[in-house]
Amino acid sequence: MDKVIPNLQLFLILILISLMIFGLDSINFLKWPKIALYYLTNPITFGLYKTKQGFERQFYFIFAARLSAQENKALKDQMGELLSENAKLRNKLAEVEAQLSQQQSLNPQIFNLLVARPIGLSRHLKIDRGSNDKVKKNQAVVFKDNLIGQVTETSEKGANVKLLTDPDSKISAFSQGLSGKAKGVVTGQFGQEMLFDKILHEEKIQAGDLVYTEGLENFLPRGLVLGKVTRVEEKENEVFKKAILAPIFDIRDLELVFIIIE
């Protein structure tokens, strides 16, 4: 028998002891030894359990960080799309606002205006309207009631606008301010300034006055704003006095300009 079932006697004894322990434990006879043993084992199991929790938290942190990174990427993509859409809407809004504002400044019943979009700026302002849109040389380009320049060259789908700051630009003008009125010629200076020249000494002009077109040129209506006087240069030994003008608008900020077709 012992060859088939090894250590049968010991096996039976241990089974018997186990049964006895089970019986004794059932009647709470082993309560105190168990409590004593718990003082030893419980802190160890607690420590191990806390370690496990720590590990789980670390792993969860890695998992959560990875998930957050994926979410962040998706949100960035979404935000990029929204920003792009927002930029398009802002452009459209600016165009609509500019058109409305232009209608308030120059009466569309008197002036036939053509909307153009600036597409480049070097010495000349490049616009996206050309001869196909009935744009011709010498037509005035305005924004609100401000003169931007004059069309100098046209192609089928574009045109160059000579700016007021261009040295080739010469426009008869007058200034109007609290002190009085002065007449002269506005010529462009390289850069951002214009020179209001040929002003008689007896005429009154001071910094802050606005300068308007006289309307003597065929292509220009009277009363368009050319700029604002920043300083006046007056010398006794010169026949005329001069004033330096600054444009009201920065050309680079404009979303749209308007060509006076008729």
Partner 1 sequence: MKTLIVFLVALSLLQNTILGVNLVLLVLILRSFVRVDRSNLYLAFSMGLLMSHLNFTQLGVQSIIYLVLVQLTQVVSRSHLSAHFLTVVVLGVIGVSVDRILASMLLGETINIFPIILLIEGFLSIPIFAIVKFWEERF
Least spacing, CB of residue 72 vs partner 1, in Å = 33
Q: Say whether residue 80 binds partner 1 (CB under 8 A).
A: no
Q: Binding string, 30-69, against partner 1, x = CB under 8 A?
A: x---x--xx--x--xx--xx-xx-----------------
Question: Would you say 38 or 219 has its CB closer to partner 1?
Answer: 38
What whole-number distance in Å separates Cα of residue 187 and Cα of residue 243? 11
What is the SS3 assignment for 2? coil
* Terminal alpha carbon distance of the chain: 124
What whole-number distance in Å separates Cα of residue 127 and Cα of residue 108? 21
Question: Would you say 22 or 219 has its CB closer to partner 1?
Answer: 22
Q: How many residues bind partner 1 (CB under 8 A)?
A: 29
Least spacing, CB of residue 48 vs partner 1, in Å = 4
Question: Would you say 45 or 112 has its CB closer to partner 1?
Answer: 45
Those residues whose C-beta lies under 8 Å from the C-beta of residue 118, and which sit 6 or more positions away, are 125, 126, 127, 128, 251, 254, 255, 256, 257
Q: Say whether residue 26 binds partner 1 (CB under 8 A).
A: yes
What whole-number distance in Å separates Cα of residue 152 and Cα of residue 142? 14
State the DSSP string of 38-66: HHHHHHHHHHHHHHHHHHHHHHHHHHHHH
Least spacing, CB of residue 24 vs partner 1, in Å = 8
- Residues forming the site for partner 1 (CB under 8 A): 4-7, 10-11, 14-15, 17-26, 30, 34, 37-38, 41, 44-45, 48-49, 51-52
